[in-house]
């Protein structure tokens, strides 16, 4: 039995995530056809979505992986708006087709920062896939090509996203704290 915080409930079960990830992977495969693609999971939160997504991609000329790490300074459940780069790519992105893979878009500040960084390396194209979209909290406009699920303004964790105490990234379902537990 998985230990989860009291008051937490499953918001999106693993089976539903799997179904949606397969759908998105199909769309991405169709849109890149026989080009080659550099997939960049945004760490830490994007690791599980990216792992499930890339294993389903069937891009003709192949997929390579780079990794970018970003962390927003702030309280545990909401970002302060300051983004810190914790890991950068190791090969040039110039002239490449790049796909950023992220777990959640909240204020949009992290993705806006990372997209700007990637675009400064002059890729042939840049598109973004995000599993969860918390639209109500958006502070900056960000272009996203694929969204898994729109979710309400609740503290969510599991499937890559950290919960209370930095735990629960390993869980296969996406959980939400009861609204009164939000700190
Ligand atoms: C979380 C999440 C996104 C970002 C979204 O990352 O993984 O990257 O916040 O929030 P925003 O749209 O308001 O910028 P966090 O900084 O917690 O780092 P992590 O991925 O290592 O958990």
Residue 101 CA to ligand 1 centre (angstroms): 12
> Within a 10 A sphere around the Cβ of 28, how many other Cβ atoms?
24
Give pLDDT, residue 78.
Answer: 57
106 carries an active-site annotation: yes
Q: Report the alpha-carbon distance of residue 40 to residue 173 in Å, rounded.
A: 23
Give pLDDT, residue 45.
Answer: 97
Q: Is the CB of 107 under 6 A from ligand 1?
A: yes
**Catalytic residue selected from 106, 133, 141, 153:** 106
Q: Which residues of the chain have pLDDT under 50?
A: 183
Q: Is the CB of 128 under 6 A from ligand 1?
A: no
Sequence ranges of the domains in the chain: 16-70+78-151
Residue 110 CA to ligand 1 centre (angstroms): 6
Give pLDDT, residue 179.
Answer: 75
Q: Which CATH class is domain 16-70+78-151?
A: alpha beta
Give pLDDT, residue 180.
Answer: 66
Express each pLDDT in 3-35 by its tens digit.
888 889 999 999 999 999 999 999 999 999 889
Which residues have a Cβ under 8 Å from the Cβ of 70 and sit 6 or more positions away?
42, 43, 83, 84, 85, 86, 110, 113, 114
- CA 115 to the chain's CA centroid: 13
Give pLDDT, residue 23.
Answer: 98
Strand, coil or helix: what is 18? Answer: helix
């Amino acid at each position: 039995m998985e230990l989860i915080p009291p008051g937490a409930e499953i918001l999106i079960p693993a089976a539903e995530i799997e179904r949606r990830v397969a759908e998105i992977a199909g769309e991405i495969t169709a849109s890149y056809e026989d080009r080659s693609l550099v997939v960049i999971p945004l760490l830490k939160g994007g690791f599980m979505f990216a792992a499930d997504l890339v294993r389903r991609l069937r891009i003709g000329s192949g997929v390579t992986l780079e990794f970018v790490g970003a962390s927003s300074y702030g309280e545990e459940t909401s970002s302060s708006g300051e983004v810190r780069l914790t890991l950068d790519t190791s090969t040039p992105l110039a002239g490449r087709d790049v796909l950023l893979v992220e777990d959640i878009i909240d204020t949009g500040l992290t993705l806006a920062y990372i997209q700007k960084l990637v675009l400064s390396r002059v890729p042939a194209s840049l598109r973004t896939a995000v599993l969860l979209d918390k639209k109500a909290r958006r502070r900056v406009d960000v272009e996203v090509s694929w969204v898994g699920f729109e979710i309400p303004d609740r503290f969510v964790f599991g499937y890559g996203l950290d919960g209370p105490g930095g735990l629960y990234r390993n869980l296969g379902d996406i959980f939400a704290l009861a609204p009164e537990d939000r700190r």
